[in-house]
Amino acid sequence: MSELHKFLFDGLPVRGMIVRLTDAWQEILARRASNTATGAYPPPVAELLGEMTAAATLMQSNIKFNGALILQIFGDGPVKVAVAEAKPDLSLRATAKVIGELPADAHLPDMVNVNNKGRCAITLDPKDKLPGATPYQGVVPLFGDGGEKLGKLSDVLQHYMLQSEQLDTTLVLAADDKVAAGLLIQRLPVKGEGNLEGTSGTSDKDHDQANEDQIGRNEDYNRISILASSLTRDELLTLDVETILRRLFWEEKLLRFEPQAGLQGPHFACTCGRERVAQMIRGLGAEEAESILAERGDIEVGCDFCGKQYRFDAVDAAQLFTPLGDQIPGSPVVQ
């Protein structure tokens, strides 16, 4: 069962979270494997996508944002794009587009940062968006301050969190074909609540300055961060949450929250629907739609996240380009 655990270090300005995705992650992989057009992910891609899914869950829970948190990597290598999305109810979905062959032992740069042009984007898409409002998006490169290619997704995201929230964050991520898991440790802001939307406009300068002065200097955070970083990939994948927390933090006093598991826990869900696909076909324009129909007989669009197929035959497609009111009586309405 997939689960999310949150905890505080009693009396210290440090909080933590650990996520362990099992059934939710296996469902994402199984849906991809059963897609005859793509087949299963190559193992290195599955590992990257699992880490992204665990990270998206942690980041969504960390900021308690009322909307979708979408973590994307736009790669310049064989993995063109990888996406993981987490919603406030901990519903998750993820997908990746892979073109060409990958070495079996491919690392992050081999997949998405061959020419150091890969990018990672974090988008916050509000649930109740005002018309015309654009979601917040932060973008970071996949290289470090010296231009060196970063080898791990956790390095990229730690960099992002430091830039956007101005808070020290330690992330440990791991995934295989059964489990996607992550540990997040974060220094709490000096005052106020950490905010992924950055410092522009809303927060006061003194607060930022006080926070910046604290970055990398809080002894409690540094000690706990070193403990967290000692967690190995194997331990994260194979040990249960209680064992991990006991092994890492047996000398610290943890305040635990009720774990989120089962119906309240992380789970797979896709929000695709026929109307969204219809909108996409409308976006292609009548001419393009007709040429696809002429060539194939119908327009079939598969959801990259869940694999569901949406089919529009000539009559369905004609309806898409017919103004409401002029539609043929008795013909099916596109939902």
Within 179-198, which residues bind Zn ion (CB under 5 A)? none
Residue in 306, 310, 312, 319 binding Zn ion, rule: CB under 5 A: 306
Closer Cβ to Zn ion, 41 or 305, answer by number: 305
Closer Cβ to Zn ion, 23 or 252, answer by number: 23
Asked if 28 touches Zn ion (CB under 5 A), the answer is no
Cα separations in angstroms, 68 against 46, 71, 131, 260: 22, 10, 17, 18
Nearest distance, CB of residue 304 and Zn ion, angstroms: 8
Nearest distance, CB of residue 306 and Zn ion, angstroms: 3
Nearest distance, CB of residue 33 and Zn ion, angstroms: 16
Cα separations in angstroms, 132 against 107, 110, 240, 306: 39, 38, 45, 28
Tokens 């081999």 — which residue? Answer: 110
The torsion angles phi and psi of 135, rounded to 5 degrees, stand at -65, 155
Closer Cβ to Zn ion, 35 or 222, answer by number: 35
Q: What is the torsion angle, in degrees rounded to the nearest 10, for the CA atoms of residue 150, residue 153, residue 154 and residue 158?
A: 70
Tokens of 114: 């061959």
Asked if 83 touches Zn ion (CB under 5 A), the answer is no
Tokens 């996406």 — which residue? Answer: 83
Alpha-carbon gap, residue 224 to 94, rounded angstroms:
31
Q: Would you give the binding string for Zn ion spanning residues 226-265, x where CB under 5 A is met?
A: ----------------------------------------
Alpha-carbon gap, residue 262 to 153, rounded angstroms:
27
Asked if 303 touches Zn ion (CB under 5 A), the answer is yes
Nearest distance, CB of residue 28 and Zn ion, angstroms: 11
Closer Cβ to Zn ion, 41 or 143, answer by number: 41
Size of interface with Zn ion, in residues (CB under 5 A): 6
Asked if 30 touches Zn ion (CB under 5 A), the answer is no
Q: What is the torsion angle, in degrees rounded to the nearest 10, for the CA atoms of residue 289, residue 292, residue 297 and residue 303?
A: -80
Asked if 305 touches Zn ion (CB under 5 A), the answer is yes
Nearest distance, CB of residue 23 and Zn ion, angstroms: 18
Within 123-162, which residues bind Zn ion (CB under 5 A)? none
Within 260-279, which residues bind Zn ion (CB under 5 A)? 270, 272
Residue 220: which residues within 8 A CB-CB, separation 6 or more? 9, 12, 13, 14
Closer Cβ to Zn ion, 270 or 281, answer by number: 270
> What is the longest distance spanned by two Cα atoms in the chain?
73
Binding site for Zn ion (CB under 5 A): 270, 272, 303, 305-306, 308
